[in-house]
A and B are shown apart, each in its own frame.
Chain A
Amino acid sequence: MTRLGMVIDLKRCIGCDACTLACKQEKGTPQSVMLARVFSREYGKFPNTKKFYLPILCNHCEDPPCVDACPSHAMIKRKDGIVSVIEDKCCGAQACVSACPYGAIYYPASMKTFTLSELTDLERYQIQNGIMKIRSAMKCDFCAIRVGEGMEPACVATCPAGCRIFGDLDDPNSKPNLYLHNRMPQDVPFYLRAEANTKPNVIYLK
């Protein structure tokens, strides 16, 4: 079985937002939608303060609450482990948005277009040919089209620090598993919000 997932090494992340921009460029998401965000937080007390960056994306959970919440079965868990939206089926109930513990699903308030004023040529083509629906839930799908063509997701390919490692988590010789295997002893792998018990496929490394 294939279980696509990602390891994100927080030590390597420099907070450059290249992943955010690569994702926006790849997906053409509207202004308020960022499927790959990077947060930062300072901690400690002056003068001993530090800062960490936290890249957030859909965790492609094994037990995804968004799939369970969707009344029209637009949210699916694919055989390769990717959780994605079938835009055509989305009825706009937005239950998935509330159900996701990571806030990784968006439902644009206005038209789901890159610019607010007018459609781009690509969008016009996609809408006319039924490829894109003007309003539906949006989420990261690990760039399923790129992955299908043997490439890595845009955020992984773009990251200059190489903090994102993508591959099949069920394959012991895959990049993420080898990365985890060869990590330094003090590096701690963890899941975000493990208490939600959604079995995420994105593993963070501190």
Chain B
Amino acid sequence: MPFLVYQTMVTDSVAGSGTFPTFVSVSLIDLLGIIALFVVILGSLWKYFQWRRSSPPNFFGSTRRTLHMSALVRAFFSELWNRVFLQKDIINNDRVRRFTHLTMFWGFLGLGITSALDYAFNQQGNYIPIFGSNLSGIRFLGNFAGVVMMIGATIAVVRLVTVHKYRTNRNLGDIWFTCLLFIAGLSGFITEYCGEIAYAANPSALPAAAYSISFSASLLISIPYGFHLASIALIFLTAPISFFMHALHVPSMRYMERLGMLVSMKRRSGQKSELLRSKESAMLDQVQEIYEQKKPE
């Protein structure tokens, strides 16, 4: 596996004049990415089992019996589009907060897509000019998404500092997540700028895939890039305990409620969601069981 090959730094570039990717190789970034993904999956599973413990026991069975797989998939994409991408009916009481939330979300998503595209089409970690290359679209999307995310993150940070009410409504997990997003975005743009300068000075530098870790990169690149990587790593590594998890938790909860409504509609059993009905039924079953227990003689 490529990311397990830890090749010590071998470079022919002059110390202090390396290009932007020379600080850490793509293989190390890949390794970090896989660890981050693993952490997010673990966090999601933890949340899921927490909810599963308190979910009604009959709900999943009745959902599976009543709804076809196509209905489950349709409901999933409908929730994904309306609740997650468009965020309909959410945060309607504060326009600035809604705008901030949307921009941070869309920016984060755009950066995620950019990273995936970069991994797919630029595995060597080559320098991509923003205009004039086949892969310029990837870099352009990354920059655009970064700007969108930074608009939201900057407003959020400014509000955290200046608006007392907004600050008191946040807890440590929210502040941590918001600040990390801001630092990741800011350090990303600084790194990119410094990388441009370094590449202009030394266009023949090796691509990132040739190294594990290089100490020959300019400090102007190493410091912001170090911050950038560290903040992204922290965003994912602390995901299970930070505000990050709400992005998966809240839509999942809404999806369950939606399934409950679909089952009720299919059975024509009124406006009450099947999820609520299952909860009530679970409580009544429990009490009935207690009543039916034989008294000790």
Q: Chain A interface (Cβ within 8 Å of chain B)?
A: 10, 32, 39, 41, 43-44, 50, 52, 54, 56, 65, 68-69, 71-73, 88-95, 97-103, 133, 135, 186, 188, 190, 192-193, 195-198, 204, 206
Contact = CB atoms under 8 A, between A and B. Distances in A.
Contacts of B50: 65, 68
B283 interface: yes
A69 B250 contact: yes
A13 to B, nearest CB: 11
Interface stretch (B84-92, B130-138, B141-149, B178-186): B84-92
A115 to B, nearest CB: 18
B256 A204 contact: no
A89 B286 CA distance: 35
Interface stretch (B20-28, B223-231, B288-296): B288-296
A41 B284 contact: yes
A196 B290 contact: no
Nearest to A90: B93
A69 B249 contact: yes
B215 interface: no
B287 A103 contact: no
Contacts, number: 108
Contact of B286 (A73, A97, A193): A193
Contacts of B284: 39, 41, 54
B286 to A, nearest CB: 7
Interface of B: 50-51, 53-56, 89-93, 97, 169-171, 174, 243, 246, 249-250, 253-254, 256-257, 271, 275-276, 279-280, 282-284, 286-288, 290-292, 295
Contacts of A32: 271
A102 B279 contact: yes
Given A89-B169, A190-B290, A95 B283 contact: no
B283 A102 contact: yes
B184 to A, nearest CB: 21
A48 B126 CA distance: 81
Contacts of A69: 249-250, 253
B253 A52 contact: no
Contact of B90 (A91, A188, A193, A197): A91
A99 B276 contact: no
A31 to B, nearest CB: 10
Given A69-B253, A97-B257, 13 more contacts: A52-B287, A54-B284, A54-B287, A72-B91, A73-B170, A88-B93, A91-B90, A91-B93, A95-B250, A98-B253, A100-B54, A188-B290, A192-B286
Contact of A52 (B91, B280, B291): B291
30 contacts: A39-B283, A39-B284, A41-B287, A43-B291, A43-B292, A50-B291, A52-B288, A54-B284, A65-B51, A65-B54, A89-B169, A91-B92, A91-B93, A92-B89, A92-B90, A92-B91, A94-B253, A95-B246, A95-B250, A98-B253, A98-B254, A98-B256, A100-B54, A102-B279, A103-B275, A135-B92, A186-B295, A188-B290, A197-B54, A204-B287
